[in-house]
Structure 1
Amino acid sequence: MSERLEDIAVAMVANGKGLLAADESSGTIKKRFDSIGLESTADSRRDYREMLFRSDEAMKNYISGVILYDETIRQNAKDGTSLVKIMQDAGCIPGIKVDAGAKPLAGFPGETITEGLDGLRERLAEYYKLGARFSKWRAAISISDGLPTWGAVKQNAQALARYAALCQEAGIVPIVEPEVLMDGTPGNHSIERCYEVSEWVLKTVFDELYDARVVLEGMILKPNMVVAGQKAQKASVEQVAELTVRLLKSTVPSAVPGIAFLSGGQTEEEATAHLSAMNANFTMPWKLTFSYGRALQAAALSAWNGKSENVAAGQRAFAHRAKMNGLAATGGWKKDLEKAA
């Protein structure tokens, strides 16, 4: 495969394919495993991810790349094959989460700043040697009375831009992920408020990317969809699709090759339906696809249930969700296809 940033970015949003976010931190994967009564150990985490990565139907047909956690990019499968090689053999691009998580932002109560810039140049060089060709950095923006503040939006946008520039220097495509949260406190904001904040955030992020001399053709944007707060009345699929496309057209330069949405607290089917409605009903200058974690994995985790005899069932569940989202990435998903599973 080409090593040009622009070519890698285009391959990440290949037609009918999207990204699997398997970059859960140790704390997050423990919560997921707790839900099925499974102890989180290096071996159980490896077994779970190996089950996903060896799902040939999903990985070869619907997944373009996988975002990994530091532990996972270094792990070998039970037979000694590196997990990275298993992905590459399926035609998938390995990626890596490089941020150190959102921490309280000094002087800004209730807001966070994503850390991890210290030593990032050296870590990126190591990850490149381990096979990573793209990376991810998430900035979390909360909505409540008086939030977000300009200071928090600005500082997170600057951090995203510094990260993206370092990635491109290292030959790694940056996924730029500014997430306006649908949950949190109070979590009852309207879809119009989500639009307003998301527009502000994206405009600020692209201003900072420009100032940092980030090559837009060699990056992928991973934004939230425009949705109401988790405790507010849900908007229709059509309204979410229309407002999200309007937001993107007003903020995202056409030079960006692709936009891979996060699911951000939506149900599996909601995330699929919203993506499909956008692709089915609008003409856009970029590819719109998925970069889902829980919305791709929840059914697979439940079907697997931590048992080796359930690997095939877990892979079938994963393949189904991957196929549904692959269809959504071309606007071809239909609700009745869910029942046919």
Structure 2
Amino acid sequence: MASATLLKSSFLPKKAEWGTTRQAAAPKPVTVSMVVRASAYADELVKTAKTIASPGRGILAMDESNATCGKRLASIGLENTEANRQAYRTLLVTPPGLGNYISGAILFEETLYQSTVDGKKIVDILVEQGIVPGIKVDKGLVPLVGSNDESWCQGLDGLASREAAYYQQGARFAKWRTVVSIPNGPSELAVKEAAWGLARYAAISQDNGLVPIAEASENMFVKNYSY
């Protein structure tokens, strides 16, 4: 009997409301607060981020691949050898007072393990100048199947183990670059893939002690067009 009374009072309209439409009350929004701590590296990550973002200084992007570095060397008539790349990178990290203007340096993997022509580790030279060593960790763009001739960024496979090794070598932040093509859509698939990849990269980086820099580039140029 109690259940019947509850049913009548809760769900059946009153006689005066017969023939009218009752609108359900809009659900109240629920706010959920969640604090995520980056394991044992939490305090160090905050310190690193503050150093990189210190006022009046910027980030030096010297993460050219060996192939790109070879193009720069070729422009001045030099071969793309390890010795020439070493000399080129030595010039980048040894100017007097560099640390007054640069807070972080993004390195290519070879550079992270490389020494200058004088035999001093490049990472050590950066740290002595108050510059945080960083590392490019993505593996470049490849075609995204099922999209509008778009791409996705590879490199998540094995990222955790690679970043653990980079941390041991002295890196304290990472960079991952992906591209969203505006002329080709962008398709929902490409946007989701870019966002998912950046999020996974960032989580893995923090778990291994590296501050993640997420670079989402927009390709605004139309390569092929006709009127």
* TM beyond 0.5: yes
**Structure 1's 28 and 109: CA in aligned 2 closer, same or farther, altered over 3 A?**
farther
Q: Which runs of 5+ in 2 are unaligned?
A: 1-41
Q: Could you tell me the TM-score, scaled by structure 1's length?
A: 0.52
Partner of 1:31: 71
Query: 1:93–1:133: 8 Å Cα contact kept in structure 2?
Result: yes
SS at match of 1:4: helix
Query: 2:174–2:211: 8 Å Cα contact kept in structure 1?
Result: yes
**Matches of 2:152 and 2:214 in 1, distance apart?**
15
Partner of 1:4: 44
**Matches of 1:92 and 1:75 in 2, distance apart?**
16
Whichever residue aligns with residue 103 of structure 2, its letter is S
Whichever residue aligns with residue 40 of structure 1, its letter is N
SS at match of 1:76: coil
**Structure 1's 143 and 34: CA in aligned 2 closer, same or farther, altered over 3 A?**
farther
Partner of 2:201: 163
Partner of 1:174: 212
Partner of 2:172: 133
Q: CA deviation at 1:29?
A: 1.7
Q: CA deviation at 1:183?
A: 4.2
**Matches of 1:128 and 1:76 in 2, distance apart?**
17
**Structure 1's 173 and 111: CA in aligned 2 closer, same or farther, altered over 3 A?**
same
**Matches of 2:221 and 2:109 in 1, distance apart?**
27
Report 1:76-95 matches (<5 A). 76-95=115-134
For each residue in 1:117-175, what CA deviation from the matched residue of structure 2 results, as whole angstroms up to 9, or x when unmatched? 0000100100000000000000011221x421111011011000000000101111000
| Number of residue pairs the alignment of both structures matches | 184
Q: Does 1:104 align with 2:143?
A: yes
**Structure 1's 26 and 94: CA in aligned 2 closer, same or farther, altered over 3 A?**
same
**Matches of 1:106 and 1:122 in 2, distance apart?**
27
**Matches of 2:99 and 2:196 in 1, distance apart?**
36
Whichever residue aligns with residue 32 of structure 1, its letter is R
Query: 1:142–1:184: 8 Å Cα contact kept in structure 2?
Result: no
**Structure 1's 119 and 69: CA in aligned 2 closer, same or farther, altered over 3 A?**
same
Q: CA deviation at 1:35?
A: 2.4
Partner of 1:249: none
Q: CA deviation at 1:78?
A: 1.6
**Matches of 2:96 and 2:58 in 1, distance apart?**
15
Query: 1:56–1:90: 8 Å Cα contact kept in structure 2?
Result: no
Select the structure with the greater relative contact order (CA < 8 A; seq sep ≥ 6). 1
**Structure 1's 174 and 110: CA in aligned 2 closer, same or farther, altered over 3 A?**
same
**Structure 1's 3 and 128: CA in aligned 2 closer, same or farther, altered over 3 A?**
farther
Partner of 1:142: 181
Q: Which runs of 5+ in 1 are unaligned?
A: 188-341
Q: Does 1:15 align with 2:50?
A: no
**Structure 1's 46 and 3: CA in aligned 2 closer, same or farther, altered over 3 A?**
farther
Partner of 2:88: 48
Q: Could you tell me the TM-score, scaled by structure 2's length?
A: 0.77
Query: 1:3–1:171: 8 Å Cα contact kept in structure 2?
Result: no
Instruction: Flag the structure with larger Rg.
Output: 2
**Matches of 1:67 and 1:21 in 2, distance apart?**
5
Q: CA deviation at 1:3?
A: 5.6
Q: CA deviation at 1:108?
A: 1.7
Q: CA deviation at 1:32?
A: 2.3
**Matches of 1:65 and 1:140 in 2, distance apart?**
23
